[in-house]
Structure 1
Amino acid sequence: MLINSTNHTEDDVFTCYSPSVVGYRYFAVVWGCAVTITGTVGNLMTVLAFALDPRLRTRFNVLIVNLAAADLLYCTILQPISVDSYLHLRWRSGEMWCKVFCLLVFLSNSVSIITLCLVAVGRYLLVAKRAVFERVFSDRGLIILLISAWALGLGSFAPLWSVYVFVPQMCTCSFHPTKGRQYTPILIFFFYFFCLCCIGVFYLLIYRRVRITSRALLRYRLSRRSSRKKPASSAQGPDDSGVNTCSCKISSEADLTQNTDEISCEESPRSTQGSAKVSDLTTANDMVPTPAPTSKPSSSQSAASGDDKEMKHVTSMSVTVFLCFVICYIPYMLLHIRENDDVPPVLNTICANLTWLNSCINPVVYAVMSKSFRQAYHVLLTRAAAPFTGLRTRWSTRST
């Protein structure tokens, strides 16, 4: 990625012409336009859905909106400039905007990673240490966390202003291949490997906790069934499995953010049979709020089972967002960890273009895997299409 300045004019420095990418650039332009349109519309709809739908105004969804804002910055402002560079095979915006472009790109990426970390940490605290979660992720705490995320990203990459240059091999602005060698590996390791590994660890801890509590709930249900089959005289002592017959309260947290089923038994001298109480704790912390249960009070156990499925479903959605980020950025980061002068320019270009996908894919994941976001998107699209629908109706009426 060394830039040879010998006998090169300023225009030569900002060109990325290469025979290997002449044909590929048209695919990159189409790909970039699709990312710009999809990412802008999708992330804007996510922000509007949060603002207009009261069900989505939750503490965890504030983090989702922050993630959408970072992606919106890239898709709406930065992506069209990248498309222009590929279309003309040169950077046409000047040296100053090249540096600004590079700073904003890394700011957007770092804020996305930090936000994903906050989501993973918050969910784990909600599972394992609810009191700590309530203090850290309070309304005031969320504001501090969001400001800190943007400040950390800006503080990490703004000092590298002097090493931002146009890199012809990727037809975009990035770190200087030699001047930034003492800084860039540290930042890349921290943001793209350490932080992503931390996210993976927290999700594994959440998965482990969910498995433990799911097994505990299953054992409780089995003991309930066995106690119902026994005569009343044998229901006052411990059963064969050593589980006391008691008044049990099950607190089923039915969401991605409320991932544990706590089972507490308190002996009651007035009761000879266990009584189960399932409370759906859908609070402002839920990432995707669960609609009010429509089942009868006598079907509390089936409601708990539905809550457990919903929790696993939304957890899968958050893990999918995390995995999409990893898949989009790992190839690009691996090329930047080592000297890649011998890497074909088209491979550099493909890896750089793959990172574009991350900025537009999250709204698609929400629409596919979240019923609440899907319904909110549908309402927004219906409202947007209403003027055209009314115009078509009036035109049809006049024609008849």
Structure 2
Amino acid sequence: MVAITINRYVLISRADIYPRIYTPRGICLMLVAVWTISFSLLIPPLLGIWGELGLDESSFSCTILKKNNRSPKKLLFVVGFLLPCLVIIFSYLCIYWRVRKSRRNIKAHMSQGAGQRKSGFVKREDSRVTWLMLTIFLCYLLCYMPLMLANCLEDQVKVPTVHVLASVLAWASAVINPFIYTGTNKLYREAYRQLLCPKRNKVKMGSPVTNPKILNSHSSKVSSQPT
């Protein structure tokens, strides 16, 4: 999630260096790094050095258990929640500032009449971007904060249903973001439509209204008719 957020930040705020960083080789190295870091965090409990992996009967989940009254579970959940949270806040604030700055520059170069007509559109776009970023951040909190609290307060919260629901919310985060972007961005909706309805696109491209060959032949016939 942090890697995706950084990707969006670089794409929008540092577009000049984006092609040099996100090459096929660079993307493969990033994927390897993400998986390596994720699994390396579980090496201490896997080897029994700091906690151990096992079944927690109180929450019906396979998790990190205490060994010699020590476990890295709380630390991992706190860092795993706060670090992405800080990265998301910083990255989207930078993106928002960049978008506002670009729109202000465009607005400044508009003529006076056009600026008055388009000022309402610019405000609506700023509002849309604000709500989009706020929605993404709130969904992140909704999905991951219950799991973090349930694991950090597991000694006080011994209700299995709470742990199960918190885990379900955390897994649900993987499918929430596509719906957010699809519902708020026309380009995403068009991309999904082309992906999920390829036959409809072919029919639309072959219709008399949108087929370039038919339009050109029709135009030539009209122009050849005597006035």
- Which TM bucket (shorter chain)? 0.5 to 0.7
- Offset of 1:202 from its aligned partner? 1.4
Residue type at the aligned position of 2:167? A
Q: 1:225 aligns with which of 105, 112, 117?
A: 112
User: Is the CA contact 2:58–2:158 (under 8 Å) kept in the aligned structure 1?
Assistant: no
Separation in structure 1 between the aligned mates of residue 62 and residue 82 of structure 2, nearest angstrom: 22
**Cα offsets for 1:261-293 (capped at 9, x unmatched):** xxxxxxxxxxxxxxxxxxxxxxxxxxxxxxxxx
CA distance in 2, matches of 1:177, 1:351: 21
Q: Secondary structure at the match of 1:166?
A: strand
Structure 2 residue aligned with 1:145: 30
Provide, for residues 94-137 of structure 1, a one-character-per-residue CA deviation record: whole Å limited to 9, x for no partner: xxxxxxxxxxxxxxxxxxxxxx2223223333444333333222
Q: In the alignment, which residue of structure 1 is the partner of 2:91?
A: 202
3-state SS of the aligned residue for 1:131? coil
- Residue ranges of structure 2 left out of the alignment (5+ in a row): 200-227
Structure 1 gap ranges (5+): 1-115, 227-298, 385-400
Instruction: Report deviation, 1:333.
Output: 0.2
- On the 8 A contact 1:328/1:358 being kept in 2, the answer is yes
User: CA 1:144/1:314 → structure 2, altered by over 3 Å: closer, same or farther?
Assistant: farther
Aligned to 1:122: 7
Larger relative helix fraction = 2
Q: Could you tell me how far apart the structure 1 residues matched to 2:194 and 2:78 are?
A: 42
| Residues 122 and 364 of structure 1: CA distance in aligned 2, closer, same or farther (over 3 Å) | closer
Aligned AA for 2:172?
L
Question: Contact 2:58–2:160 at 8 Å: present in 1 too?
Answer: yes
The answer to whether the 8 Å contact 1:203/1:319 transfers is no
1:26-72 CA-partner distances (Å, limit 9, x unpaired): xxxxxxxxxxxxxxxxxxxxxxxxxxxxxxxxxxxxxxxxxxxxxxx
**Alignment partner of 1:164 is 2:53:** yes
State the one-letter code of the partner of 1:153. Answer: S
In the alignment, the residues of structure 2 paired with residue 220 and residue 383 of structure 1 have an alpha-carbon distance, to the nearest angstrom, of: 40
Are 1:327 and 2:212 matched, yes or no?
no
Take 1:166 and 1:132, find their aligned partners in 2: how far apart are those partners? 46
Offset from partner CA, 1:227-250 (integer Å, 9 cap, x none): xxxxxxxxxxxxxxxxxxxxxxxx
Which residue of 2 is the match for residue 371 of structure 1?
A: 186
Distance in 2 separating the partners of 1:124 and 1:306: 24
**Aligned residues, how many?**
194
Q: 1:138 to 1:128 in 2, by over 3 A?
A: same
Contact residue 317 and residue 370 of structure 1 kept, 8 A: no
Aligned to 2:104: 215
1:330 Cα shift? Answer: 0.2
2:208 alignment partner in structure 1: none
CA contact (8 A) 2:59 2:164 kept: yes
Distance 1:342 1:134, change over 3 A: closer
- In structure 2, what is the Cα distance between the partners aligned to 1:133 and 1:186? 33
Rounded Cα–Cα distance in structure 1 between residues aligned with 2:134 and 2:36: 26
Secondary structure of the equivalent of 1:199?
A: helix
Contact kept, 8 Å, 2:96 with 2:129, in 1: the verdict is no
> More relative contact order in 1 or in 2 (CA 8 Å, sep 6+)?
1
Compute the TM-score of the two structures, normalised by the length of structure 1. 0.40
TM-score by length of 2: 0.65
* Aligned-partner Cα distance in 2 for 1:316–1:137: 28
Q: How does 1:258-269 map to 2 (within 5 A)?
A: none
Contact persistence 2:92–2:133 (CA under 8 A): no
1:169/1:348 contact within 8 Å kept: no
Root-mean-square deviation over aligned CA pairs: 3.7
Residues 165, 176 of structure 1: 8 Å contact kept = yes
